[in-house]
Structure 1
């Protein structure tokens, strides 16, 4: 049977609107990959959803004077609408607070316990005397014992990546009230015995030969340091209840139930589409591919597969595709310092494909990358407008002006035409290979290179001169160029779907959803076809003016100083 792909993006936390660093860190590359797979005729299921449990939601809801569910309902819809505007083509965008995820989480926990991988311990947990509450790991901060970073959280140090427990922190304080009046009190909790899975996890990770280096090295380094049993319960009200006597007052740690959302969302989609979810999670023909940022590597390469190994609930991921961080103008995105571009305001400023194209062109595949407004402007103006959009406009307006808006029927193809046709097929094959190698940034560069090839072909042939002496030959050049434009639109479709669909509309090629990757190597725009009239034929892109750059820069600076 043919391989099928289950593609996931790390679940965005439901508290507020995410910034563009979150978008490029997992959501966007996962969408680009899923879109390519569909074009290549693969059976694909692309799932994601909001991660809705945990103390941050309880506290945010308390501040807003609403229940955690009401708070989650509000922001789940806001996020869903934003991602739809970004063109993220989820087959299912679910919510971890839904019934299916609660039930699946409890099933996996009970299987972990039945198989001997759950233990019980009494812990000294941080208790804020001022707030009269236990502090979940993200509501206690202090100095990292590993690197000395002052802003380490109770679960992980963002600077060095070390996974921590609250008791590991030096000089701890409560992030709710800011006070250091913290006591460590005894409370009973449940643990996933990762130490029992160390050898199995190591063997599995070593078998993943083509994983990104950052994912593999981080996971193996953690195992080398010695895996410890990991606490999976919390003293909270909002979350998945622990189905065990004596633990009625506790819920599962948000990072226990969150990745289970991948399975739950699959179940929900399958229930609505008459499929068995096991086809995606318990079939050797199914490849499970997780897209995520490096801050999620530890959870996706150790804790999540450990949960699955212990429970025997389903097969392990085929690939963990991890990315480094995106900075903005040389500085880290920071909510506290109000430094960043939010995913909603970005689309208020400029069209979605401008953002999708530039973010994928600087995708942090191997190291942190930087979002520069100056380079963003160059990419929009040079790559999108001058190289790609200008070619489309020149060719199609010329056909309208000289051939009454009808695609010329080609004469016999000359040697240079055949050579260019072969190059188109070569580019399409190379881009396909790059996609299956998970080299998405390079795939984008190679796709745009076809637009440059088409520009050279068009300029070298100079149909504006030929039309005066040999209209049939000029028509052949336009026919070849128009098909190259269609092929370029197809190669760029995973990256800039709205613009590619517009090109397909101009050429009368129908919906992108009905296209195939193999069409990129064929001349499917036929002679005699009606193309968009000059009244419809609007430029694909507009230049990003200096004034717009200045406006965005001023807004960022003003907000960061407020």
Structure 2
């Protein structure tokens, strides 16, 4: 446990509530955020992990138009699925909310007014695509065409998924409406713009102060992008009925652009959480505290919005937001790190919902346990380059690493101990040198695994924990307690006690990655309080209606990032295998399922 707890804001990408979540989304942002948050909870730091459903994205209105239902119906349907998935996967959000709340409206409108007060917003007339067949202006995401930078034929109006560049929708080649495929025409409309050219010096200063420890891909798509193409004004409003209305008169029919307001959720969610825990100023510890560290877990397609646009908004509001929102004089905390992941493909092809090419979170968990998924997505995490989901590899890693290495170690030692020492931790007497050495080796993992976790090198951290488990298996191969117990039970007691000490340590080292099975093992070892707190859902009502949130209660959590103190002679419970070995036929069965 740390003597000087840090305040750690774990800000997780807000999923559009218009599509099912697949493994690429999970390993891109949701899972790494949870691993990082769990590590810091074990360290004793003050963690606040927040996110929610992006309810106002144009993909939602596109889907609602196609289905003939309201955008709210679409968002709430997918939001419910997200909550179910995150609970099953074990993502311990302090708050997973939504952008369609009265609180988020107020916070977003206050950001708008603060930027306006400080002179960073300006109105400007512009040409925007207009659909004659639909008789309305088309938001950028309603328009597709060929990217004028890389030539990708299915670029969105706001960004190209192929090259990652932000786009000017008006410059798309061969534009077409996503709704009916018709060719739109340009018409004049008026919007507010964020004056990014005026904010550029602040953004560059912010980025240069962080370039030494940020991931190269993030630096390239932020600071590198600005140096190649200086910032210019970007519209923050759109002609939409669904969304957050402007807080000024004379602008009816305009809503805040989703790229501008969705990131504000990282601020509005902590404020909502504070009210839910009956401490309305609690969020100040993360947002008005210059010592707090804010980590933003996103996929690489969102780097410009989190490494350029959001810092620009925060720098632009200065202390005006706190004044407008609650009559205070405080600056908001800028991001400390944006550890964006690359993409996860499947079987060497890009995951695609329209082609049903992917592994979908809830579907996977209907057949498999959550920790094998968490394990494979972490050991295969695309931290520095794109990685690949391969069903043969999933089965092999589950069987050879998760089951044969770690799972088998825990089960065979505890089963053997329960049988020969009648459900009590053996009393070892004076430990031998080899016993002390392996305990010290495993306990060093609190530094070696911890350093990797703290640096958001999650893949390397899990590999290090696996290496330590392998060392314990080697120790057991040398000591051979299975035969030793027949001739020298006292010597076997030393070996098994030592192994249990190591397993108790490894349980904690694996806990951020494999929380479900770590909790099971924690119980087998005789502990009565859980490592982590519990998740629960809650219905919240405001003037916009009712929304359901996912929350985390840390009250019963007892886990700490420190060496085992398990006592000889203490009782423990009959264990059961932590993981299931998978048949090799699973890979072909899953491929056939996708092909159906």
TM-score range, shorter chain: over 0.9
Q: Is the CA contact (8 Å cut-off) linking 1:54 and 1:238 kept in structure 2?
A: no
Q: 1-side partners of 2:167 and 2:25: how far apart?
A: 23
Q: Is the CA contact (8 Å cut-off) linking 2:143 and 2:169 kept in structure 1?
A: yes
The answer to whether the aligner puts 1:466 opposite 2:468 as a matched pair is no
CA gap 1:302/1:390 in 2 versus in 1, 3 angstroms: same
Question: What SS is found at the alignment partner of 1:374?
Answer: helix
Residue of 91, 98, 101 corresponding to 1:98: 101
Q: 1-side partners of 2:443 and 2:403: how far apart?
A: 24
Q: Is the CA contact (8 Å cut-off) linking 2:508 and 2:561 kept in structure 1?
A: no
Question: How far apart are residue 336 of structure 1 and its match?
Answer: 2.1
Q: 2-side partners of 1:318 and 1:539: how far apart?
A: 41
Q: 1-side partners of 2:65 and 2:151: how far apart?
A: 32
Which residue of structure 2 lines up, in the alignment, with residue 550 of structure 1?
588
Q: Is the CA contact (8 Å cut-off) linking 1:411 and 1:473 kept in structure 2?
A: no
Question: What SS is found at the alignment partner of 1:332?
Answer: coil
Q: 1-side partners of 2:251 and 2:577: how far apart?
A: 62
Where structure 1 has 5 or more consecutive residues not aligned to the other structure, the ranges are: none
Q: 2-side partners of 1:353 and 1:63: how far apart?
A: 36
Provide Cα deviations, 1:452-505, integer angstroms capped at 9, x if missing partner: 111111121111221112111111111110111111111000001001111111
Which residue of structure 1 lines up, in the alignment, with residue 473 of structure 2?
455
Question: What SS is found at the alignment partner of 1:413?
Answer: coil
Alignment of 1:37-76 (within 5 A): 37-76=40-79
Alignment of 1:212-361 (within 5 A): 212-224=215-227, 225-273=229-277, 274=279, 275-312=281-318, 313=321, 314-361=332-379
Question: How far apart are residue 284 of structure 1 and its match?
Answer: 1.3
RMSD: 1.2
Which residue of structure 2 lines up, in the alignment, with residue 3 of structure 1?
6
Q: 1-side partners of 2:424 and 2:276: how far apart?
A: 44
Residue of 144, 166, 169 corresponding to 2:169: 166
Which residue of structure 1 lines up, in the alignment, with residue 126 of structure 2?
123
Question: What SS is found at the alignment partner of 1:74?
Answer: helix
Q: 2-side partners of 1:463 and 1:471: how far apart?
A: 9
Question: How far apart are residue 516 of structure 1 and its match?
Answer: 4.2
Q: 1-side partners of 2:445 and 2:253: how far apart?
A: 59
The answer to whether the aligner puts 1:27 opposite 2:46 as a matched pair is no
Q: Is the CA contact (8 Å cut-off) linking 1:463 and 1:477 kept in structure 2?
A: yes
Question: How far apart are residue 21 of structure 1 and its match?
Answer: 0.4
Question: What SS is found at the alignment partner of 1:319?
Answer: coil
Provide Cα deviations, 1:197-238, integer angstroms capped at 9, x if missing partner: 111111110100201111111111321211110000111111
Structure 1 range deviating more: 269-278 or 290-299: 269-278
Question: How far apart are residue 526 of structure 1 and its match?
Answer: 1.6
The answer to whether the aligner puts 1:133 opposite 2:136 as a matched pair is yes
Q: 2-side partners of 1:88 and 1:547: how far apart?
A: 30
Provide Cα deviations, 1:168-209, integer angstroms capped at 9, x if missing partner: 1011111100122x1101011110000101111111101002
Question: What SS is found at the alignment partner of 2:338?
Answer: strand
Provide Cα deviations, 1:521-543, integer angstroms capped at 9, x if missing partner: 23x2221122223xxx2211111
Q: 1-side partners of 2:74 and 2:468: how far apart?
A: 47
Q: Is the CA contact (8 Å cut-off) linking 2:395 and 2:586 kept in structure 1?
A: no
The structure whose residues are more often helix, as a share, is 1
Which residue of structure 2 lines up, in the alignment, with residue 528 of structure 1?
569
Which residue of structure 1 lines up, in the alignment, with residue 326 of structure 2?
none
Provide Cα deviations, 1:375-426, integer angstroms capped at 9, x if missing partner: 1111100111101111112111111221112211111101101111111121
Q: Is the CA contact (8 Å cut-off) linking 2:392 and 2:587 kept in structure 1?
A: yes
Structure 1 range deviating more: 166-175 or 220-229: 220-229
Structure 1 range deviating more: 28-37 or 125-134: 125-134
Question: What SS is found at the alignment partner of 2:144?
Answer: strand
Question: How far apart are residue 62 of structure 1 and its match?
Answer: 3.1
Which residue of structure 2 lines up, in the alignment, with residue 196 of structure 1?
198
Q: How many residues align?
A: 552
Question: What SS is found at the alignment partner of 1:238?
Answer: coil
Q: 2-side partners of 1:307 and 1:392: how far apart?
A: 50
Which residue of structure 2 lines up, in the alignment, with residue 155 of structure 1?
158
Q: TM-score, normalised by structure 2?
A: 0.91
Structure 1 range deviating more: 75-84 or 95-104: 75-84
CA gap 1:492/1:529 in 2 versus in 1, 3 angstroms: same
Question: What SS is found at the alignment partner of 2:340?
Answer: strand
Where structure 2 has 5 or more consecutive residues not aligned to the other structure, the ranges are: 322-331, 533-556
Which residue of structure 1 lines up, in the alignment, with residue 549 of structure 2?
none
Which residue of structure 2 lines up, in the alignment, with residue 444 of structure 1?
462
Q: 1-side partners of 2:453 and 2:515: how far apart?
A: 16
Provide Cα deviations, 1:254-275, integer angstroms capped at 9, x if missing partner: 1111011111110011112214
Provide Cα deviations, 1:319-344, integer angstroms capped at 9, x if missing partner: 11111000001000112222111111
Q: Is the CA contact (8 Å cut-off) linking 1:24 and 1:360 kept in structure 2?
A: yes
Question: What SS is found at the alignment partner of 1:126?
Answer: strand
